[in-house]
Each structure stands twice: as structure tokens, then as C-alpha cells.
């Protein structure tokens, strides 16, 4: 059994739970059952050396992925404390922060797409922060227009997406369009960690062909100075 196959099996243990299929209270039992299944697959390998190697790789991969999971990787979470936002962005190698306001529809649209990307790019931390909770950061980062998504690499601001202009200036843009745009900054790791299957296929051509709806788009911008 190849290391790639083993890593793929390990990734199944920490894939985000499907709320339709798994109850939160039974997660631990389900994880134990899945671990036993993966261990059995490795034990069935004909080579003793490969079995030992496989179990060791599985253990390391599980420990790594579980550590990420405990730090909220794989989910899109909200942070309310300004100091905590600073700490997370400083310590995480890759993080994406959505500065939002609850009264703006386009921020809700951005939330929907970032929540999907969070489950796909497990090595990147995705968070949202209410601008009124982080006044110092809003001023420090010169955030004027919402939604504002800022990419951090090793504690340094690398890139930002302001409004929807770079996303086709269209409320109906696809998650793939946002994914393509964020990938430019390097905050999204192209290779899926541990061989986790894609949630959806990304098509550059379809992103480029995204239709633009000009009517009212220019006026649909939330300005913090207003």
C-alpha cells in the first residue's frame, strides 16, 4: 500500500462531518469505527514492512490533521475578540479573514462561499470578524469598503479582495471564481492535503466567462465612511 493511499485513508478520519449523516454526539464513536476500518485495510497488506510503515504514516497523518481540526481548520468560524484575531493571523501560516457587517447582503454572499472553501482547504484558517468588534484593525488595515477579505501569510497581509469587482461584479458569482482569485495570493494550497477529494471542480474557463450584471452593481457597495 503506497503512502499516498495511506494518507488518503487518514484524511477520511478528519474530513468535515456531514450534518445530514452524522450527529455531533456520535462523532467520537464514528471516528473510532473509521480508524478501525483504516487500520484493517493496512493490516491486510501482504508485506510486513509495508504494514508497519503504513501504520506509522497513518498515525502521523492523523495526529497532524487532528491538530489542525482542533484549531478550527476545516470550518468557517467567527472571532469576536480583536486580540484573538491578531493572534490567529500572526500564528497561522495561511489565513483568510472576512471583515463583514451584518447589514450588508453581499457580506452574507461572501460568507457562503468562504464556508465552502474552508472545508476544502484544510491547511488554511478561515475566519469572519464583525467590523464593529475590531475598530483598531479596521483603521490599521485601512478597510473602507465591504465585504473585505484579507489574506495573511505568516502574519503578513499578502492580498485582499474588496467588494465584488474582481469577482465579476455580480452577486451570482460561483465559489470557483472566488477560489481562483484567492489562489493568486498563495493562501490556498493547490494540492489537497492528504488526498482529500475535491468538493467541486474548479474551471478557469467558466470563471473567466462569468456573466456580469451591471444594473445596480456599482451602487451595491457598503462604505464604512457613509
Mark whether 163 and 193 lie in a shared domain: yes
Mark whether 86 and 56 lie in a shared domain: no
Mark whether 89 and 170 lie in a shared domain: yes
Mark whether 48 and 81 lie in a shared domain: no
| Boundary of a domain, candidates 70, 96, 122 | 70
Q: Grade residue 88 by pLDDT with cuts at 50, 70 and 90.
A: very high
Q: For 123-160, how does the pLDDT look when each residue is reduced to its tens digit (9 = 90+)?
A: 899 999 999 999 999 999 999 999 999 999 999 999 99
pLDDT score recorded for residue 74: 81
Asked if pLDDT for residue 117 goes beyond 60, the answer is yes
Mark whether 219 and 197 lie in a shared domain: yes
Q: For 151-204, how does the pLDDT look when each residue is reduced to its tens digit (9 = 90+)?
A: 999 999 999 999 999 999 999 999 999 999 999 999 997 544 343 333 334 334
Mark whether 153 and 66 lie in a shared domain: no
CA distances in angstroms from 48 to 30, 45, 192, listed in the order given: 28, 8, 29
| Boundary of a domain, candidates 41, 70, 99 | 70
The CATH code of the domain that includes 154 is 3.40.30.10
Mark whether 121 and 210 lie in a shared domain: yes
Mark whether 9 and 111 lie in a shared domain: no
pLDDT score recorded for residue 4: 59
Mark whether 136 and 80 lie in a shared domain: yes
Domain that holds residue 63: 3-70
Torsional class of 169: left (φ above 0), alpha (ψ -120 to 50), beta (otherwise): left
Per the structure, the count of domains in the chain is: 2
pLDDT score recorded for residue 69: 61
Mark whether 87 and 17 lie in a shared domain: no
Whether the full predicted model's pTM is greater than 0.75, yes or no, is no
100 closest CA partner among 111, 90, 89: 111
pLDDT score recorded for residue 158: 96
pLDDT score recorded for residue 162: 97
Mark whether 121 and 54 lie in a shared domain: no
Q: Residue 96 and residue 157: Cα distance in Å, rounded?
A: 10
DSSP code of 99?
E
Mark whether 106 and 209 lie in a shared domain: yes
Average pLDDT over residues 111-121: 94
Cis bond leading into 67, ω under 30°?
A: no
Residues of the chain with pLDDT > 90, as a percent, come to 48
Amino acid at each position: 500500500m503506497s503512502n499516498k493511499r495511506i494518507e488518503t485513508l487518514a484524511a477520511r478520519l478528519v474530513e468535515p462531518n456531514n450534518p445530514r449523516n452524522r450527529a455531533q454526539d456520535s462523532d467520537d464513536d464514528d471516528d473510532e469505527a473509521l480508524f478501525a476500518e483504516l487500520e484493517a485495510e493496512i493490516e491486510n497488506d501482504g508485506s510486513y514492512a509495508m504494514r508497519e510503515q503504513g501504520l506509522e504514516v497513518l498515525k502521523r497523518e492523523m495526529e497532524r490533521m487532528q491538530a489542525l481540526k482542533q484549531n478550527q481548520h476545516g470550518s468557517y468560524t467567527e472571532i469576536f475578540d480583536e486580540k484573538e484575531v491578531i493572534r490567529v493571523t500572526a500564528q497561522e501560516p495561511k489565513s483568510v479573514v472576512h471583515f463583514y457587517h451584518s447589514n450588508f447582503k453581499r457580506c452574507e454572499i461572501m460568507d457562503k462561499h468562504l464556508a465552502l472553501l474552508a472545508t476544502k482547504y484544510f491547511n488554511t484558517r478561515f475566519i469572519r470578524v464583525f467590523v464593529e468588534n475590531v475598530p483598531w484593525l479596521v483603521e490599521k488595515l485601512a478597510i473602507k469598503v465591504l465585504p473585505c477579505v484579507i489574506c495573511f501569510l505568516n502574519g503578513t497581509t499578502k492580498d485582499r479582495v474588496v467588494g465584488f469587482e474582481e469577482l465579476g461584479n455580480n452577486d451570482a458569482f460561483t465559489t470557483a471564481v472566488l477560489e481562483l482569485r484567492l489562489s493568486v495570493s498563495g493562501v490556498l494550497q493547490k494540492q489537497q492535503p492528504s488526498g482529500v477529494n475535491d468538493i467541486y471542480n474548479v474551471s478557469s474557463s467558466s470563471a473567466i466567462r462569468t456573466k456580469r450584471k451591471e444594473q445596480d452593481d456599482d451602487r451595491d457597495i457598503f462604505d464604512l465612511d457613509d
